[in-house]
Amino acid sequence: MFASRYSARENAIQRQKGGLLSPLPSRDSAAASHAGDGVAVVMVTHNGAEFLAAQLASIVAQKPPPAAVYLVDDGSADGSPKLVREFFARHPGIPLTVIPAPRRRGRDLYTRIARNFAAGLSAAAPFGFIALADQDDIWPSDRLARQRQRLEETGALLTTGNGELIDRDGRSTGRTLRDRFPVTAGWPTAGPGARMRAVMKQPMTTGAASMIRSELLDLALPVPAGWLHDRWFSLVAVARAGLDVDPATALYYRTHEQQAVGVRGHAGRTGRERIADAVLRPYFTIRKVRDVSFTLRGKAVDPAIRAELRLGSVLRSYLGR
């Protein structure tokens, strides 16, 4: 079932005019024999050698370990992909598949990051569950087991956890991801429409702290231009009434000066910041409003969700009014 679904998705992506992804590799790899309900990990690297060893060590220390790891390297000049290959050569029980980074189109950073993760996720689609990994964090040893259990128990398409912020030397900063991306008060008991409205107003999902069911890829790929993959995935998941927000710590999230997005970067804009961005980049804002009001509304499973995705409601929620 998973292999046939992978073929269908690959063919559909290749048929997309000007599609976002590069041709995918053959599934004649060691990882193919592990596909099914196992957990795969998708990691994207870009000049991340300084912190990679700690992240990789925490991945292989998972109990149980992942069934496979997929790596997409975005033009590293510091030997990051070589470091990853050599690391997994010392851990042959976890197959590593290296996916070519998609050809760059345009200069938008969000689109570039989303395309890299989409390439890795598409290759990992035969697995039932997929965890996303940055190159500079550290995972508690139960992260994969806990997040898989959350998805199985809740039936959600995406589960996202909290993270303890650490500095570049691994010391706790005393803050968490929820300080930057707070969960709306009343989330556990909120209805479908209220949840949709809340996620449009304020991102709650950090990709590096998340795991998805592979079924989400059929609904969320390709990621529209201008979106970060985790932001778009969370919107699709809540539109399908399938977003689980877990209060537990899913990772130790490293903050440092080289981060392009995230806590120290540009993700998680407020409504006021989106209004300012709309003035500076009206074309991107119009496209994003269209993506939410039309593309996303077509995926909604509840009338209350569809009501929140009407154009007027989107403008009020997404722009923070």
Residue ranges of domains in the chain, CATH in brackets: 2-258 (3.90.550.10)
- Please give the pLDDT value at position 148: 98
Rounded to a whole number, what is the largest CA-CA distance in the chain?
A: 55
- Please give the pLDDT value at position 12: 35
Mean pLDDT of 204-214: 97
Side-chain half-sphere CA neighbours of 168 within 13 A: 8
Contact (Cβ atoms closer than 8 angstroms) between residue 45 and residue 135: yes
| pLDDT band at 240; cut points 50, 70, 90 | very high
- Please give the pLDDT value at position 260: 53
| pLDDT band at 37; cut points 50, 70, 90 | confident
If you average pLDDT over every residue of the chain, what do you get?
85
Would you say residue 277 has pLDDT above 90?
no
Specify the amino acid at residue 77.
A
State pTM to two decimals: 0.84
- Pairwise CA distance, residues 311 & 38, whole Å: 40
| pLDDT band at 14; cut points 50, 70, 90 | very low
> Residues with Cβ < 8 Å from 150, sequence gap 6 or more?
156, 159, 211, 244, 246
pLDDT: is 266 or 104 the higher one? 104
Contact (Cβ atoms closer than 8 angstroms) between residue 221 and residue 120: no
